């Protein structure tokens, strides 16, 4: 269905929403919407009104805006919800809503940590070389990539042979199943970054599109960092939220 097939709309916003909804249904996930000025002209509405309506669909998760790239139809995959107060694996979140995750592009190797990796694991500069396990993989749902995960784990906690055929992609779940080391907290840094060529290819998103990046240090009860992870999440598939305490004055 082309935008030309829609009659120009010069009436209430609700009719604009109906037209946009029809266009979403007629398209496939990942399809790009026409540029704003062109779409506003075709629908006979102001760019401000169109921007407001499209923003409402973005908030509902039906559309995804990628800065500098355009507006796209979202995936039909249900959004994974997670409160940041509790650490859970993607596999665990998916199972809660009846979804199955798939793992792709698995790469596992043992080597010496780079200075940046050693810093992430809390190893002071100048210390002896730290042997680590590197686990890279892409997590997908229904064949659609939703996250790129990278874990760096000291070999004293995990080795290559510990990842058997039952490994589903979560180092967290593996540690919890083994009950060793006993985990306590995770310190997480959250930021939005632009997809480089590497991650655009791995996650099948346009170059430069926004990704949610989480860098996390996983602590044991004896306050040792047992894993340092860097994860990239595709917007539109996740809804992270946090309950915040009000500071009393």
Would the pLDDT of 10 be above 50?
A: no
**Model confidence pLDDT, tens digit, residues 140-191:** 988 889 999 999 999 999 999 999 877 889 999 999 999 999 999 999 999 9
Q: pLDDT tens digits, residue range 170-183?
A: 999 999 999 999 99
CATH of the domain at 17: 1.10.10.10
What global pTM score does this model have?
A: 0.72
Contact 66, 224 (CB under 8 A): no
pLDDT at 76 over 70: no
7 versus 172: the higher-pLDDT residue is 172
Residues 216 and 105 in one domain: yes
User: Do both 134 and 225 map to the same domain?
Assistant: yes
Owning domain of residue 226: 80-241
Q: How far apart are CA 151 and CA 137, in angstroms?
A: 9
With cut-offs at 50, 70 and 90, classify the pLDDT of residue 11. Answer: low
Q: How many domains does the chain have?
A: 2
Q: Taking 60 as the threshold, does the pLDDT of residue 94 lie above it?
A: yes
Whether residue 3 is predicted with pLDDT greater than 60 in this model: the reply is no
Average pLDDT (24-46) is 86
Same domain assignment for residues 114 and 158: yes
Q: Per residue, what are the HEC states of 178-208? A: HCCCCEEEEEEEEEEEECCHHHHHHHCCCCC
């Amino acid at each position: 269905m082309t935008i030309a097939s829609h009659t120009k709309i010069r009436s209430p916003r609700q009719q604009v929403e109906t037209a946009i909804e029809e266009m979403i249904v007629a398209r496939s996930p990942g399809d790009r919407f026409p540029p704003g000025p062109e779409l506003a002209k075709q629908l006979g509405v102001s760019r401000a009104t169109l921007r407001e309506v499209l923003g409402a669909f973005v908030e509902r998760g039906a559309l995804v805006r990628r800065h500098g790239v355009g507006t796209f139809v979202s995936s039909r995959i249900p959004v994974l919800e997670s409160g940041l107060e509790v650490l859970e694996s993607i596999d665990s979140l998916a199972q809660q809503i009846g979804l199955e995750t798939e793992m792709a592009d698995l790469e596992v190797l043992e080597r010496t940590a780079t200075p940046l990796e050693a810093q992430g694991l809390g190893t002071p500069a100048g210390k002896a070389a730290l042997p680590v396990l590197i686990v890279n993989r892409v997590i997908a749902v229904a064949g659609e990539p939703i996250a790129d995960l990278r874990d760096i784990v000291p070999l004293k906690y995990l080795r290559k042979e510990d990842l058997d055929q039952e490994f589903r992609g979560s180092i967290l779940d593996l540690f919890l199943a083994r009950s060793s080391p006993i985990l306590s907290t995770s310190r997480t840094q959250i930021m939005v970054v632009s997809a480089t060529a590497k991650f655009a290819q791995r996650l099948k998103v346009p170059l430069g599109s926004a990704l949610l990046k989480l860098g996390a240090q996983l602590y044991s009860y004896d306050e040792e960092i047992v894993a340092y992870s860097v994860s990239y999440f595709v917007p539109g598939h996740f809804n992270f939220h946090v309950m915040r305490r009000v500071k009393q004055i």
